Structure 1
Amino acid sequence: MVTRAFATLGVGDQYESIAEQMIATLDVLVDDGEPILSAYRPLQDGEWLIDVMFVDKDADARARWLAEARELLPELPDFEEDPVAERDWVAESQKALHPIHAGRFVVFGSHDRDKMVPTQWRIEIDAGRAFGTAHHASTRGCLIALEKLAKRRPLTTVADVGTGTGVLAIAADRLGARAVAAGDIDPVSVEVARRNIAVNRTHRPIPVVVKAGPFAIADTVIANILARPLIAMANDLALATGRTLVLSGLRTAHVRPVKAAYRARGLVVADQIIIEDWATLTLERPLR
């Protein structure tokens, strides 16, 4: 499971640029996309946070990383790692999250359900312990990339690799995909995705499987993971892609090696979206 550490900066728009500068400084400590760094405020007028999500590091490695961060930024407030946040941080914090707009989509939690105007572009997501509320730039980038793709041509079959909450699979269904399937290595995320799919009453059933990496061949494949696994799975993801591959979860510093890995498998970059130093790539298989 993801482990979270966060530092609270303060309230006010002036902290946005401070937070961005701190993230840029801490980025030198990121190794192949680990940990994931972000700066945001959960409420529109709330406190700005520096958020650090560890995926693979154990307690000792996390402590060393946070100590190095302190050496780089002595002015950084103390990081907090409380047991509830480490065990189930998204579930505990999601009630404070406001609706997020990405293209035509608006993603919101069940606590905001009664405030939302009925529209096909609304997606209700309760994350539990899964990743993908659209507050992270990589998820927003994927939503925008999918919408742009659907405007160019109809979506046919779509596979969402590392689905997390299922938000991208639901979005593909909303955009008219003929068939959508999703998978995740984490059984908890799979259960969360299944609940979200049911709540959102998708046009067609969306099967969700417990599976690491690509689980089906599809015309369009989505993988919002991290740079290191995206490079490691380049061959499998390329083989699973019939025509279009949408990749995200990578910082701009990692775009070049990711592009190279997929260019070597015959895919070319058709579009690139940058949000808050996070990149979303749309790659196409050239038509013959």
Structure 2
Amino acid sequence: MHVRQVLLIEGGVNALITVCKMTVGLMTGSAAVIADAVHSLTDLANNLFAWLAIKVAESPADDSHPYGHQKFEQLAVFALASILTIVAFEVIVHAVERYGEPVEQNLLGLVILSFSLLINVSLTLWEGYWAKRLDSEILHADATHTLSDVLTSVVVIIGWQLAALGYYWVDTIFALVVSSIIFYLAFKLFQRAIPVLVDQSRYPPEQLKAAVDSIPAVITVGNIRSRDTGKGQVADVSVTVSANLSTVESHHIADQIERVLAEKFDIQDVVVHVEPDVDKEPIASDS
């Protein structure tokens, strides 16, 4: 089992759940249930985006993308967050337009929604298991998304049942609650994707500089920067060392810098530029 297989299986299940919820929503006229069906549709869209993103992100580096394609995964997350924002607005508009309209009770619909809820709970646990086993960030995020769908469904079922008892306004209120959950989910996805897309650093340069400066052979630390690739942190470091050192000794210092940044900050990809300290007179060698 690999990440794309998990996403394909989950996509098939989400398609079934979406059809079930939309059928119940149209049967009963519940705005909250229809809103939940739209939410499940975004789960399906999420699976599609994630599958395509993983496929592209796994592509090796090429002439046009020499640093690889990892950011395509975050680009897909950003696109999903944008779609969720639009969906949340649509849910609000639909809920307001249906305010005060009667909502019907339907035993078959209640059974279908309850069954869909159980499937979603199982799907969340199953995807969480594979996210840990495959150490996949996108599966972890998707499992969280599915969990939000579970919580939303619980809210929707309660709202529908109260509305069917005559409290029609409850259906609209609960539809607005669903839209709020979707807005929050979109916000969290934006929070995840934007820092990577704009090369935000997770660590202040001062912390990185202090760690590198603690290495005895390093005289000064020049330019130092890091960024998040979505698959880990990378860093570029420029240092000066004694002009009297050999190439091999300078290389050992670069290895020490890489080791320190990996141990203290879990930065596994480091480019070190070593320069001679020209401000100090090199010591004459015995010849």
Report the TM-score, using the length of structure 1 for normalisation.
0.22
Over alpha carbons, which structure has the higher Rg?
A: 2
Instruction: Give 1 or 2: higher strand fraction.
Output: 1
TM-score, length of structure 2 as denominator length: 0.22
Q: Name the structure, 1 or 2, with higher relative contact order (CA <8 Å, separation 6+).
A: 2
